[in-house]
Amino acid sequence: MSANQNYQSVLDAMFDARFAPAKIRAAMQKGLDQGVSYTQSIAKVDTGYLKSKIKGKMVDDYTAMLESAAEYSGYVNDGTWKMSGDQFFDKGTVTTGKSINENLSKL
C-alpha cells in the first residue's frame, strides 16, 4: 500500500467515524418508524384515539422510545379484571427493537 492509499484509508475512516452518529440515528429512526406503524396496525380501534396516540421519538442519538399517550392504553395492553389484555404495546415494543436492530445491521 502506498503512502497516498494509506492516507486515503485514514481519511475515509475519519470521515466514517465523524458521520457514524448520524447514520446510527437515521437507522434507529427508520426502525422506530416501522415499529410505530406496526404497533398502530395491531392496536384495537374503537374511536381511533388509542391508535393516534402511539408515537415514537428519538431521545438522543442512541435512544429510541415508543410511547402511547392514551390514558387507558395500559388497560388495553395488560387487561383488567373484566377483560384480558391484547399486549399490542408489548408486541410493538419487541417489533420496534427488531426493526431497529435490522436497520443497524445494514450499516
pLDDT in tens, 75-101: 999 999 999 999 999 999 999 999 999
> For residue 64, what are the β-bridge partners?
58
Which residue segment(s) compose the domain that 81 sits in?
Answer: 3-105
> Nine-digit cell at 89?
404495546
- Contact status, residue 34 vs residue 99, Cβ threshold 8 Å: yes
pLDDT band at residue 18 under the 50/70/90 scheme: low
pLDDT greater than 60 at residue 13 = no
> Nine-digit cell at 73?
392504553
The total domain count for the chain is: 1
Pairing of strands 63-68, 54-60: antiparallel
How buried is residue 63: exposed, middle or buried, by Cβ count under 10 Å (0-12/13-18/19+)? exposed
